[in-house]
A and B are shown apart, each in its own frame.
Chain A
Amino acid sequence: MMFQGEEVKKDFPILNQVVNDEPLIYLDSAATSQKPTAVLTAIETYYKTSNANVHRGVHTLAERATSQYEAARETVRAFIHAKETAEVLFTRGATTSLNWVAKSYGEANVHEGDEIVISYMEHHSNIVPWQQLAKKNKAILKYIELTKDGQLDLTSAKEQITTKTKIVALTHVSNVLGSVNPIAELTQLAHSVGAVMVVDGAQAVPHMAVDVVELGVDFYAFSGHKMLGPTGIGILYGKRALLEVMEPVEYGGEMIDFVYDQDSTWTELPWKFEAGTPNIAGAIGLAASIDYLNQLGMENIHAHETALVTYLLPKLRAIPGLVVYGPTDDASRTGVITFNVDELHPHDLATALDMQGIAVRAGHHCTQPLMRQLGASSTARASVYVYNTKADCDSLVEAILATKEFFNYGLN
């Protein structure tokens, strides 16, 4: 059953506050989401009742912590429909996940003259690790072009992905344009030339049902904090056959099988990659956020966001001088809306909106190559999530109008 943003909002204590004398309206969930009481409680309960190191002790608390940590892994596995928990690695976040693939898989498998293909809509975290890999191994980094309305250009994808391509790394959902990429189709394209498919799912997993097996991807990265979970925890999904032969990126406790004087052997998946004491509370918090999302239902969440953006976009476009970037088919978009207003600089706009209680992001959103494609050095971005309402959308529109008024005539 469809839920109401007004009801959901009550589960998020942080949203019930006043900033700059105005009720807070949070429209920056693409940067990070807020956390429901259920997640906060799960973390607190863990620390109050079960805190211990994992995989190390025989005492009762150690056993509790270990089983909760591993249960969290199973919750994540089921959520993304991976075949087995051995394929679900806990990381610090999407950035760490992508760096691990570049470091471990990339350095071993990309050689001089090989190609790595990304796109112009990537977040810096899915650009810079590949640039560094290309530099280190003398490979070539290539970009898939975008269409005029901010979608991945599939013709360009077919041109860029060649028999020299070893890695295709693409975002599932753009954090700026709100466009959704046809990952299953692109994965087939990558596989047809023998390349592996790496997907940045940071903006997808929080907002839509994701099935990594159905998509066919080789690696899939995302962050807990964008899906109602805590910061400092993220996931790297990888196919077992690939992870098995990959070297760990970090070495230390927890990940070893046996340590001799001069060399060591590694333990089995997934722990081979998880050196040191992991973010146990983070994993447990993430599992609680997944439980919460599942209760709302991913289909409902997607429908809720679509309802909000299809309500908001026409109102925004009606504001004189306002341009919205990205796909023109509103129903195809996720909850991210990036825009600019006339000559108003996004920083000035964001400050003015903040004075009216509204949190949006202004800047390049960690996508400088994309900003160059759009011909804007910076933009404003409003992003909605489960706790946003049509009233929030109305407030945004009114506040933008008031800001325009202020900068045009408002000084007294």
Chain B
Amino acid sequence: MALTRLDQLYRQVILDHSSHPHHHGTLEEATNQVEMNNPTCGDVIELQLNLTDNRIEAIRFSGSGCTISTASASMMTDVVLGKTPKEALALVDQFSLLVQGKEPENLDDLGDAAILSGVAKFPARIRCATLAWKGLEKALATPDETKTNEKE
């Protein structure tokens, strides 16, 4: 039965994150925020963070997404909380390698997100997985209000 293959993509941890996402909601005040569109499906997520003393002191995301994009956003917020922008951007790079089917150097640093390696076998879904991470990259590059379209 071909559906068993879906287990490679939809692991229990992923379903847990997607049904109970961490850091979901909005911040009263944010130093950096972006809105990211996934142009293939029209999903929009908003990402907000507070940078204090050069650390991500608070982070929230909101909006609708598929299982993969919601879980990935949730996992991302877990691992970048408390990190410096530089450390967080390094994780974005590691994650990007992971979902392209390459071996990141420090897999453990990605926390639960490491389990999203299965996405590499589903090329049409890579964008879903990377949406929040690209949002983080944009948010760190552009303080305050910005609206950004995710393009190739």
Contact = CB atoms under 8 A, between A and B. Distances in A.
Contact of A378 (B2, B11, B41): B41
Interface of B is mostly: helix
A356 B9 CA distance: 14
Nearest to A376: B42
A345 B2 contact: no
Contact of B42 (A20, A357, A368, A402): A368
Given A20-B2, A346-B41, A371-B42, A377 B15 contact: no
Contacts of A368: 42
B42 A377 contact: yes
Counting chain A residues whose Cβ lies within 8 A of the other chain, the interface size class is 20 to 34
Contacts of A411: 7, 10-12, 15
A281 B67 CA distance: 43
A60 interface: no
B6 A352 contact: yes
Most chain B beta-carbon neighbours within 10 Å: one of A346, A348, A352: A348
Contacts of A263: none
A346 B64 CA distance: 12
Given A347-B125, A351-B124, A351-B125, A377 B6 contact: no
A407 B71 CA distance: 14
B26 to A, nearest CB: 18
Contacts of A362: 41
A345 B42 contact: no
A371 B37 CA distance: 14
B41 A22 contact: no
A363 B41 contact: yes
A355 interface: yes
B128 A347 contact: yes
A362 B11 CA distance: 22
Nearest to A403: B3
Contacts of A403: 3
B43 interface: yes
Contact of B3 (A348, A363, A371, A406): A406
B66 A21 contact: no
A1 B31 CA distance: 69
B2 A357 contact: yes
A347 B43 CA distance: 10
24 contacts: A21-B2, A345-B66, A346-B41, A348-B67, A348-B68, A351-B124, A352-B3, A352-B6, A355-B5, A356-B3, A357-B2, A363-B40, A363-B41, A364-B41, A377-B43, A378-B42, A378-B43, A407-B10, A407-B67, A410-B6, A411-B10, A411-B11, A411-B12, A411-B15
Interface of A: 20-22, 345-348, 351-352, 355-357, 362-364, 368, 371, 377-378, 402-403, 406-407, 410-412
Given A345-B67, A363-B40, 12 more contacts: A346-B41, A347-B67, A348-B66, A348-B68, A357-B2, A364-B41, A377-B42, A378-B43, A402-B3, A411-B11, A411-B12, A412-B7
Q: Which 7 A-B pairs have the closest CB atoms?
A: A345-B66, A364-B42, A347-B66, A363-B41, A378-B41, A355-B2, A377-B42
